[in-house]
Chains A and B, each alone.
Chain A
């Protein structure tokens, strides 16, 4: 008897250990419930941060140059380098050139932290990056301790900017993205019974599913089931068979393109014929090669689109083509990283004091900054600019722009 008890105890302990590991490596250290409100006070960094010294202004970029998120990392780097080139060609900022230091996060939160620490020890006065929310949380933690400003490129998880008053982004948050997708699905696609598939390893996916479900139910729709998977999974037949039995009319996939493509393909294989809907985590050419015919007809929410008829977009694409031998950016992260670096440089120019603290102040006071992805205002928004959301459809001949939504509360 005693033996059996021991078995169960150790079993329970190991199960706790397993789950414990998971949340420790991924969480931001804050509960997902904390939503920033207009009057929420973000903690100021404990230190003042480095001053701008020497011949150049050192800015850091953390990007996933390896691993599953490489398409985003590569575009982030190209976009950031393009912005730095343009600024330096125009004479730099206050007579000083920008020096961009790039570190690889290898698509992993832990390595993102190491990368940020390395940049900070090299004396950067600002860090740009990352795209994945899980990685950005680690970067923001390191930068908070050192008093260095962070401008995230495509990280949309809402509570990221609660980490400290040094954290900003150039994209909308999941507090907007989730509801806007629920609205689009309910009103435009006519969806009423939706199944949700969440990547429980990604803070981004969990937060997005949560806000989508809340709004969709408020609009009057039914969530038939929320199923889970882990990034890196290859087989989703189990979840998809469960979902098929519930006869939904749509499926919301809040994860990254790395798994969404596979899910779409396997959904088609098990005979699940529903409308697919997802967030900006879908944005990549790999979505199409991975999802094949299964992903065609799916809709996702994005930050900007190449086909938009705006001067900023056209200028940006012309510069990009000139520098990168006529190719177009593969994902929107090229444009967002370009915006993030320009926003940071703009703040360096306007900084009341020539140090990291001054740059943070200037960033917090940004108003009507004309970026490629839209007009960015940070003043009074706790680091979260109220940007537009664009809906695009995946078609056999590429990703097509369909409908835009202005920011709403």
Chain B
């Protein structure tokens, strides 16, 4: 086994972490916004995410992307993806509003613990209710054909050694020749696969395998002579869309009248209502925005990462995003983004350092450390609760 750190992979790993952390951040925003205005931890947020993945799945089915559909190719228009995104955002937004209206609002005058327990109840209702009605098997994941963005974007940091390129071409040509010879031999012997070949045939197979090995080594040497960043197109789009949505949210909260009202409600719920702000409307609006962001994250994960869908898919995301929100300082919007990115990067760095078995633990270790030093989270203000 090779130990030691591969410094040349570090930029790539940091980028991976940032791209993934952005999705954590997107989901964490929902937690933090709701906590900001209501001081309530919306445990059903992960399940809103789950509903978002299924909405995207159903829309993709409606558009003709189901297993065994005729004439399905990868070359689709991005309009399908956009439609899936918008549908997920709308459905999730409305679901969030409905949850607030029917589960949390009747509890608002009660002790806060009552709302908290209601939130856990809604979460379980959606998980197990979903297991009854939603299709888990088969086919339960969004087909990759819906995603027209195949392949990688390669950003060169250091050019590759051009003199090696010729050897790669040569090796690849030889590999093709050897593969062709094997194919002919299989046909010639009339067997169904390479595993039934005669001893003579197996020698040809070994030659083909050796040629493939030479070609792979040449390609690897060529790739390693330079340095480049690889971004799968899908994940790149996911990252850009996430940034765009965050920018939109910043504009909404900081520069619109509703945003100002939202900040006022977050600052002091009762005073805000005395100042003539319709707090119910603001709370509804907060759930609408927070949940639709989760919906956007859900659609992109399900489409670009190929997440397998079950009604419990939101649990892991919910927990990680919640940790991200607390880490950044729950109730603080830039904090949630920072927390999400930090967790994403920390997780990939742990993997890069060879500790992939501690990937899930690192988020919590950081959380504990930060809370011990700064109980309010990274950007949160540590307010002592008045009893």
Partner-B contacts on A (CB < 8 A): 7, 10-11, 14-15, 18-19, 66-68, 70-71, 74, 188-190, 192, 200, 223-230, 232-235, 237-239, 241-242, 245-247, 249, 258, 261-262, 265-266, 269-271, 273, 284-286, 289-290, 292-293, 330, 391, 393, 400, 402-403
Asked whether, in the complex, the Cβ of B308 is within 8 Å of the Cβ of A68, the reply is yes
Query: B62 at the A/B interface (Cβ < 8 Å)?
Result: no
Provide the residues of chain B in CB contact with A7, threshold 8 Å.
369, 372-373
Query: B42 at the A/B interface (Cβ < 8 Å)?
Result: no
Listed A/B pairs (21) with beta-carbon separation below 8 Å: A15-B361, A15-B365, A68-B308, A188-B194, A189-B209, A200-B357, A223-B1, A232-B316, A238-B347, A238-B359, A241-B352, A242-B354, A261-B308, A262-B306, A266-B306, A269-B152, A271-B152, A271-B230, A289-B67, A289-B141, A289-B143
Provide the residues of chain B in CB contact with A249, threshold 8 Å.
212-213, 216
Asked whether, in the complex, the Cβ of A262 is within 8 Å of the Cβ of B372, the reply is no
Q: Given known contacts A68-B310, A223-B1, is B359 in contact with A242 (CB within 8 Å)?
A: no
Q: Which residue of chain B has its CB nearest to the CB of A289?
A: B139
Partner-A contacts on B (CB < 8 A): 1-2, 6, 8-9, 12-13, 16-17, 20, 67, 131, 136-141, 143-145, 152, 193-195, 205-206, 209-210, 212-213, 216-217, 220, 224, 230, 232, 234-235, 301, 305-308, 310, 312, 315-316, 347-348, 351-352, 354, 356-357, 359-361, 364-365, 368-369, 372-373
Provide the bound-state CA to CA distance between A150 and B305, in Å.
39
**Within the complex, which residue of A74, A226, A247, A403 is in contact with B137, where a contact is CB–CB below 8 Å?**
A74
B1, B20, B308 interface centre (most CB from chain A within 10 Å): B308
Asked whether, in the complex, the Cβ of A237 is within 8 Å of the Cβ of B137, the reply is no
Provide the bound-state CA to CA distance between A261 and B338, in Å.
31
Provide the residues of chain B in CB contact with A19, threshold 8 Å.
361
Q: How far is the CB of B322 from chain A (nearest CB, A)?
A: 15
Q: Which residue of chain B has its CB nearest to the CB of A184?
A: B195
Provide the residues of chain B in CB contact with A67, threshold 8 Å.
131, 310, 312
Provide the bound-state CA to CA distance between A237 and B18, in Å.
12
Q: How far is the CB of B291 from chain A (nearest CB, A)?
A: 20
Provide the residues of chain A in CB contact with B152, threshold 8 Å.
269-271
Q: How far is the CB of B315 from chain A (nearest CB, A)?
A: 8
Q: Which residue of chain A has its CB nearest to the CB of B216?
A: A249
Asked whether, in the complex, the Cβ of B138 is within 8 Å of the Cβ of A230, the reply is no
Provide the bound-state CA to CA distance between A273 and B217, in Å.
12
Provide the residues of chain B in CB contact with A391, threshold 8 Å.
195
Q: How far is the CB of B118 from chain A (nearest CB, A)?
A: 24
Asked whether, in the complex, the Cβ of B13 is within 8 Å of the Cβ of A292, the reply is no
Q: Given known contacts A14-B364, A238-B352, A245-B6, is B310 in contact with A330 (CB within 8 Å)?
A: no
Q: Given known contacts A223-B1, A238-B13, A262-B308, is B360 in contact with A247 (CB within 8 Å)?
A: no
Asked whether, in the complex, the Cβ of B352 is within 8 Å of the Cβ of A286, the reply is no
Asked whether, in the complex, the Cβ of B139 is within 8 Å of the Cβ of A286, the reply is yes
Provide the bound-state CA to CA distance between A14 and B224, in Å.
40
Provide the bound-state CA to CA distance between A271 and B235, in Å.
14
Q: Which residue of chain B has its CB nearest to the CB of A270?
A: B230
Q: How far is the CB of B378 from chain A (nearest CB, A)?
A: 16
Asked whether, in the complex, the Cβ of B6 is within 8 Å of the Cβ of A18, the reply is no
> With contacts A7-B372, A189-B209, A242-B351 known, what are 5 further pairs, Cβ within 8 A?
A7-B373, A242-B6, A242-B354, A245-B8, A286-B139
Provide the residues of chain B in CB contact with A271, threshold 8 Å.
152, 230
Asked whether, in the complex, the Cβ of B364 is within 8 Å of the Cβ of A18, the reply is yes
Provide the residues of chain A in CB contact with B369, threshold 8 Å.
7, 11
Asked whether, in the complex, the Cβ of A224 is within 8 Å of the Cβ of B348, the reply is no
Q: How far is the CB of A202 from chain B (nearest CB, A)?
A: 13
Asked whether, in the complex, the Cβ of B220 is within 8 Å of the Cβ of A292, the reply is no
**Within the complex, which residue of A66, A71, A241, A402 is in contact with B195, where a contact is CB–CB below 8 Å?**
A402
**Within the complex, which residue of A66, A241, A258 is in contact with B9, where a contact is CB–CB below 8 Å?**
A241
Provide the bound-state CA to CA distance between A290 and B361, in Å.
26
B16, B67, B136, B347 interface centre (most CB from chain A within 10 Å): B136
Q: Given known contacts A71-B138, A241-B12, is B20 in contact with A235 (CB within 8 Å)?
A: yes
Asked whether, in the complex, the Cβ of B359 is within 8 Å of the Cβ of A229, the reply is yes
Asked whether, in the complex, the Cβ of B136 is within 8 Å of the Cβ of A66, the reply is yes
Q: Given known contacts A230-B359, A271-B152, is B209 in contact with A290 (CB within 8 Å)?
A: no
